[in-house]
């Protein structure tokens, strides 16, 4: 199991770093104020926390490790399109590595690492989730989650996202549909030009988890502000 975990981690890191290439976002001084706002919104879609999991908490002895690929629709002629060259003309693909740990009394804690392909951007994040209701077999599980993510790798750019969301899920013989809603508060600053943006974006998501014993597979679609994303995750639970 330890070797499998190490292999999965190495796969994610290799995919992320090998995708980083020649492009660097280092010309922020050429942006005007309204363009910096658009860039902040676009980068938040790329960096905001996404867990792709059901609402049911893990047991205190359980870990969940997942490798995820997120696809974000990119509008033509947007700033995000200009700074992130892609093979696909309308989508941005990002690999992520997730780790979650069950805690006592219905609490879970988690973290992730990612990088933005063809750029020098790296993204880190964490979550803390509490199960509000999970004891009744015939009723769905309810939970509230707080998240935080931080973008690094761009000189003079500071960008963080803080989120709060509620989710619900109900399992049926190995299949667990889940859904949720919440909001993200984005704080972005270009320290060189002095531009700063504080934004609030709503989010809605809908997903389905396939439990295969030790392994699980999940797919999710999410609307974050005006941008939509689709995600798929392969995970291990032990």
Tens-digit pLDDT profile for residues 8-28: 333 333 333 333 334 455 455
Q: What is the mean pLDDT of residues 137-150?
A: 89
2-237: CATH number: 2.40.128
> Which is more confident, 97 or 73?
97
Residue 185: band (very low, low, confident or very high) from pLDDT cuts 50, 70, 90 = very high
Q: Among residues 94, 93, 97, 95, which one has the least CA distance to residue 9?
A: 97
Token pair recorded at residue 203: 């989010």
What pLDDT score does 84 carry? 55
Question: Which letter does DSSP use for residue 88 in this model?
Answer: S
Please give the Cα distance from 184 to 47 (Å, whole number). 11
Burial of 142 (0-12, 13-18, 19+ CB in 10 A): middle
* Helix (H/G/I), strand (E/B), else coil: 46: helix
> Which is more confident, 145 or 54?
145
- Residue-wise pLDDT for 160-179, tens only, equals 999 999 999 988 888 999 99
Q: What are phi and psi of 83, to 5 degrees?
A: -100, -5
What pLDDT score does 59 carry? 85
How much is the pTM? 0.75
Please give the Cα distance from 65 to 71 (Å, whole number). 20
> Which is more confident, 39 or 223?
223
- Residue-wise pLDDT for 81-100, tens only, equals 555 555 545 667 778 888 99
Mean pLDDT of the chain: 76
């Amino acid at each position: 199991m330890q070797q499998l975990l190490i292999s999965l981690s190495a796969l994610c890191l290799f995919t992320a770093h090998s995708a980083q290439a020649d492009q660097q976002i280092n010309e922020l001084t050429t942006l005007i104020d309204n363009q910096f706002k658009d860039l902040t919104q676009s980068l938040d879609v790329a960096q905001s926390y996404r867990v792709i999991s059901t609402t049911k908490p893990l047991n205190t002895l359980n870990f969940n490790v997942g490798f995820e690929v997120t696809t974000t629709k990119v509008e033509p002629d947007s700033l995000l399109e200009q700074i992130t060259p892609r093979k696909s003309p309308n989508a941005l693909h990002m690999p992520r590595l997730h780790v979650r740990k069950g805690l006592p009394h219905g609490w879970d804690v988690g973290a992730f690492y990612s990088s933005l392909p063809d750029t020098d951007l790296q993204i880190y994040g964490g979550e803390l989730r509490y199960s509000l209701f999970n004891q009744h077999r015939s009723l769905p599980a309810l939970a509230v989650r707080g998240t935080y993510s931080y973008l690094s790798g761009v000189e003079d750019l500071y960008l963080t996202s803080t989120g709060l969301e509620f989710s619900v899920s109900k399992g049926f013989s190995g299949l667990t549909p889940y859904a949720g809603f919440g909001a993200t508060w984005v704080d972005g600053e270009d320290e060189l030009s002095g531009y700063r943006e504080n934004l609030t974006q709503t989010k809605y998501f809908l997903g389905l988890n396939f439990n295969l014993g030790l392994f699980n597979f999940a797919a999710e679609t999410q609307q974050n502000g005006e941008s939509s994303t689709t995600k798929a995750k392969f995970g291990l639970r032990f």
